[in-house]
Amino acid sequence: MQDVIVYCDGAWKGSTDSGGWGAVIIVDGDRENAREIYGGKKGSTNNQMEITAALRALEHLTQPSRVKVITDSQYLVKGASTWIEGWKKKGWVTGKKQPVKNDDLWKALDAIKARHDISWEWVKGHSGVEGNERADTLATMGAREAAGSTDGQAESAVAVRKLPADNKQETLSKDPRLSESTATVGLEFAFGFDELIAGMNKRLKRHGRTEEVIVGSIVGYQVVQKNGLSSGGVYRSMDEIPKGAFDPEIDILRPVYAQAT
């Protein structure tokens, strides 16, 4: 069975009411020959395009595979890995007895993912993960082409392109005080990459260390409600979030990073 990594992303442009999706597919670690596909549709939503990106990537695979799907969409990760089983048992309605949004896409994704051994991984968007960055670019291209097409749709042929290595790598292992096992939770560093880096490097310098942190490891998540207030504490993984505590339609998950002690 081949090993596949899929980076996928969705986009939506309000000015043209067009959505786009993009996916980068790496088979058996061959980044030199990464496959790229993208498309788009007018009148769609960002969440629809997030699901479509994963769906099209899985449809591209011609044989059963071990697949890791990497995305910056919490909606896709939680939906595909957790919520979908509950939706099926309840007849495709939510806990509030409302029809599941985008159920046509979820049903199609559920059918095709049964052919593969799939894991789902969330990454922070625009954090230097090359596959995610490229999928984002492809999704934007799809939205733009859909907006300019006569039928409001677009879909590319498969292209092959080298995928460079990630330009920001974890180097926290250099200093045990910055490892996940010994890190303290620093909520003040959950608001932006630049602030995270500056704060952690300041602490290293204070402790007489010369190496620099390139990226902090995520040690948990907070649920942030529509009003901007956090709900509950810090969850070590998304699987620990209680049912009903996170509504993907209105809430967001804010990553919490390791901090030097």
Catalytic residue numbers, as ranges: 9-10, 50, 72, 126, 136
Contact indicator for 79, 184 with CB cutoff of 8 Å = no
CA distance 93 to 233: 28
What is the C-alpha separation between 167 and 48, in angstroms, rounded? 29
Q: Which of 89, 21, 92, 31 is nearest to 59 (CA)?
A: 21
Q: Is 20 exposed, middle or buried (0-12, 13-18, 19+ CB in 10 A)?
A: buried
Torsion angle of C-alpha atoms 115, 130, 36, 161, degrees rounded to 10: -130
Mention every residue, 6+ apart, whose C-beta is less than 8 A from residue 127. 168, 193, 215
